[in-house]
Chains A and B, each alone.
Chain A
Amino acid sequence: MNVQFKKGVLDLCVLSMLKESDQYGYELANTLSEIIQISDGTVYPILRKLATDGMVTTYLQESQSGPSRKYYRLTGLGKKTLVSLQQEWLTFSRSVNQIVGGDAT
C-alpha cells in the first residue's frame, strides 16, 4: 500500500484503536502492522508524538507474562481530536470514492 496514504491516517488509526480500551505499544504495533502493513517500529514515533501533543497519556502496568508494559490511554483532547479526525476522514474518503469509485469499470 502507498506509504503516503498510510502516513496521513496513522494518527486516526491509533486514536481509534485506543477508543475502546487502553493498549500497550506492542499490541498496537502488532495489530496495525497486520492490518495496514506498516513496520512495527513506526508506531512508537506516532505514540510519542500523540503523547507530546496531549492526545494520550501513558502508565506502566505489570503483566503476568513478561515485563511491565507501557499502556496508552486517550485524553479528553484525544477523544475530541478523534471525533473530528473521524469526520474529516469519512468526508474525505467519501469524496475520493466518488471520483475513484467503482463506476469507472
Chain B
Amino acid sequence: MTKEDYISNLRRALHTLPEADIADISQDFEEHFAIGLSQGKTEHEISAELGDPALVAATYFDEGLEDIGHTMKESAAHAAAAAAAASSASSAAKSYSGAPAASGSPAAYAGNGTQQVVSTQKDLTGARLFVILLNILLTWWVAIAILSTLFSFWCISISLLVAGISAFAALAAASGEWAAVLVLSGVAGILLAVATGILNFFLSKWTVIGTKAYIKWNKKLYNEGF
C-alpha cells in the first residue's frame, strides 16, 4: 500500500471523529512515513509494518478516544462543583470507567484509571491539610521575620543616603576644616547607601523569587498531593 492509500484508508475508517482529530492523527502517520522513507524504507514496507489501517483506526476507538473529551469535561465539572473529595473521586471514577465500557475496550485500563483517580484524591486531603497547617503555623512567622529584616535593611540604606545628603546640605553653613569633614562624611554616606542599596536589591529579588517558588510548590502540593 502506498502512503497515500494508507492514510486515506485510515481517514475513512476514522471519519466519525471530529475533523481536527483526524487531521492530527493523519499528521502522526505522515511523520512516521517521512521518517521511515528518510531511513531508506519503501512506502510499502512502512505500510506493512504499521499494520492494517482499519485495525489501527479501531484501536483509536478501542482506547475510548471518542468519549474522552466528554469524560474529561464531565469530571472537571464534577471536581469544581464537588467540595468533598470523596464525592468527586467517585464521580470521576464513574465517568472514567464509563468511557471504555461504552466502546467495549478492556476493563484493565479502566481499573487502573479508577485506582489512580481514587488514590490521588485520597492523598490530597493529607497534602492540603499539610499546606494549610504549614502556612498557619510556620510560614506566617518566617514571612514576618524575613520581611521585617528586609524592611530594616532598606531603612538603613535610606538613612545613610539621607545622612549623606544632609552632610552636603550643611556644607553651606560650615567653613574650613568642618567643610572637609562634611564632604568626606557626605561622600561616605552616599557610597555606603548605594552599596547597601545594591545588596538590598538582590536580597529583595531573591525574596521575591523564593516566595514565588514557595507559592508554586504550595499550589502543586495542594492540587496534586505529595
Give me the interface of A with B, judged by CB distance under 8 Å. 4, 7-8, 11, 24-26, 29, 33, 39-42, 44-49, 52-53, 65-67, 69-70, 76-77, 80-81, 84-85, 88
Contact = CB atoms under 8 A, between A and B. Distances in A.
A1 to B, nearest CB: 15
Contacts of B116: 80-81, 84
A53 B68 contact: yes
Interface of B: 24-25, 27-29, 31-32, 34-38, 46, 49-53, 55-56, 59-60, 62-65, 68-69, 72, 106, 108-109, 112-113, 115-116, 119-120, 224
Contact of B64 (A7, A40, A49): A49
A77 B223 CA distance: 12
A8 B31 contact: no
Nearest to B58: A45
Give the secondary structure class of A's interface: helix
B35 A39 contact: no
Nearest to B105: A7
Given A26-B31, A29-B32, A48-B25, A42 B59 contact: yes
A47 B46 CA distance: 19
B32 A85 contact: no
Contact of A84 (B37, B51, B63, B119): B119
Contacts of B63: 45-46, 48-49
30 contacts: A11-B112, A24-B31, A33-B49, A39-B49, A41-B29, A41-B51, A41-B52, A41-B55, A41-B56, A42-B51, A44-B28, A44-B32, A45-B60, A45-B63, A46-B59, A48-B24, A48-B63, A49-B65, A52-B72, A65-B38, A66-B35, A66-B37, A69-B31, A70-B31, A77-B224, A81-B112, A84-B112, A84-B116, A84-B119, A88-B112
A42 B25 CA distance: 12
Which among B29, B35, B72 has the greatest number of chain A C-beta atoms within 10 A?
Answer: B35
B31 A25 contact: yes
Contacts of A46: 59, 63
A8 B108 contact: yes
Nearest to B106: A7
Nearest to B38: A66
A44 to B, nearest CB: 5
A76 B65 contact: no
B218 to A, nearest CB: 15
A87 to B, nearest CB: 11
A11 B56 contact: no
A25 B106 contact: no
B99 to A, nearest CB: 10
Nearest 4 A/B pairs, CB to CB: A39-B51, A66-B38, A41-B56, A41-B50
B50 A69 contact: no
A81 B120 CA distance: 10
